[in-house]
Amino acid sequence: MNSNETLLEKPTQAMMPVGRMHMPDRKFIEEQFPEPVMPACAINKVLKGQKAIVTGGSSGIGKGVATALGHAGADVLVNYTSRAEEAEKVAEELRRCGSRAITCKADVSKEDQVQAMFKRAIEEFGTVDILINNAGLQKDAPVDQMTLAQWQQVLDVNLTGQFLCAREAIREFKRRGVRKDVSCAAGKIICISSVHEVIPWAGHVNYAASKGGVMLMMKSIAQEVAPHRIRVNSVAPGAIRTPINMQAWDTPEAYKDLLKLIPYKRIGEPIEIGRAAVWLASDDSDYIHGATIFVDGGMTLYPGFETGG
């Protein structure tokens, strides 16, 4: 164990996925596959002294990422749009671990609110080193029944929101430059994309279009800002146990169907996206740039072909 390494991660309340913590249809899983075992991982303070913004940080993946960043030593602004008390709970967990944490209400699709959020982070923390572009939503409908409002809202939040936040982060990273005492990069942006940046998704054309957009936005920004030593990458989750997709894991039948899409035969947990984000935000991944890391239990491996097609 090195001096930065502390304890083994034990799930705390704030790390737990929202919703019922059951493993549906255990009999089916035990009969078919080895029982899933969640890894216990050492927590290293690899982000000590760094300042982060996590959008949509009060629930699901955002909550898992904010918690992981805090445990890794970062100070965190937890952004939310509703349910301030949930954001405050995440911030309290981070303070308990010794990080500074504040909450900030802002709609990421609104330019003035995004700018106010960055201003607040810079006033409180002095600067921003890490942006986690996580806020997102779904408004599903068959394409011929999808309203313009449904299309527009998903694009506004999932794509334009990520652009607005990335733009403010880059302005701050360029203004400030490299802080050699905390990182060899001037700043890190991590876009939470989705396996649907590459997998088409019938009935969700607005969502898939937004995530496909995130992929090329991320890569184009990465190409443009690399000389400034600003690193930009994505994490593309598969099926993670959060409120956004509760209907896919909340009943034994749904869970059984879901496993058909996951070669590793278990759903992912928000903290697993958190661990990937910590690594991408740390100097351990300093030469990773413009990449999408799929954290999906193999969902992008065309599981329909696992028996030979």
The three-class DSSP label of residue 75 is strand
CA-based nearest residue to 91, from 76, 106, 80 = 76
**Is the separation of the CB atoms in 55 and 62 below 8 Å?**
yes
Which of 230, 239, 278, 281 is in the footprint of ligand NAD by CB under 6 A? 239
CB nearer to ligand NAD: give 92 or 286. 92
- CA 224 vs. chain centroid, Å, equals 23
**Sole binder of ligand NAD in the list 15, 43, 45, 60 (CB under 6 A):** 60
**How many residues contact ligand NAD, by CB under 6 A?**
28
Sign of torsion over alpha carbons 272, 132, 21, 97 = positive
CB of 54 to ligand NAD, least distance (A): 10
Is residue 254 close enough to count as binding ligand NAD by CB under 6 A? no
Question: Which one of the spans 2-10, 92-100, 179-187, 233-241 is the region binding ligand NAD (CB under 6 A)?
Answer: 233-241
Output the six-digit token pair for 31. 């009969």
- Give the count of beta carbons closer than 10 Å to the beta carbon of residue 189: 25
The answer to whether residue 135 forms part of the interface with ligand NAD (CB under 6 A) is: yes
Beta carbons of 6 and 50 less than 8 angstroms apart: no
Nearest to 49 by CA among 133, 165, 127: 127
Contact 90, 66 (CB under 8 A): yes
Nearer to ligand NAD, 99 or 109 (CB): 109
What is the C-alpha separation between 90 and 100, in angstroms, rounded?
Answer: 11
The CA R_g of the chain, rounded to the nearest whole Å, is 19
Please tell me whether residue 61 binds ligand NAD under the rule CB under 6 A. Answer: yes
How far apart are alpha carbons 191 and 133 in whole angstroms?
Answer: 5
- Taking the complex as a whole, how short is the minimal distance between the CB of residue 256 and ligand NAD, in angstroms? 17
Closest CA to 210 of 262, 146, 295, 276: 146
- In the complex with ligand NAD, the residue whose CB is nearer, 4 or 251, is 251
- Please identify, using beta-carbon distances, which residue of 94 and 135 lies nearer to ligand NAD: 135
Question: Interface with ligand NAD by CB under 6 A: which range of 6-14, 132-140, 256-264, 278-286?
Answer: 132-140
Positions in 148-177 near ligand NAD (CB under 6 A): 157, 161
Q: For ligand NAD, which residue of 116, 137, 178, 246 counts as binding (CB under 6 A)?
A: 137
Is there binding between residue 240 and ligand NAD (CB under 6 A)? yes
Q: Among 37-45, 79-87, 95-103, 225-233, which window interacts with ligand NAD (CB under 6 A)?
A: 79-87
Note whether 246 binds ligand NAD by CB under 6 A.
no
Residue placing its CB nearer to ligand NAD in the complex, 184 or 216: 216
The nearest distance, CB 208 to ligand NAD, in angstroms, is 11
207 flagged as catalytic: yes
Both structure tokens of 210: 């937004």
CA distances from 63 to 53, 68, 220 (A): 12, 9, 27
107 binds ligand NAD (CB under 6 A): yes
Which residues, 6+ apart, have CB-to-CB distance to 210 below 8 Å?
A: 136, 154, 155, 158, 159
Q: Which of 207, 255, 264, 302 is catalytic?
A: 207
Active-site positions read: 207
Give the residues lining the site for ligand NAD (CB under 6 A): 55-56, 58-62, 79-81, 107-109, 134-137, 157, 161, 192, 194, 237, 239-240, 242-245
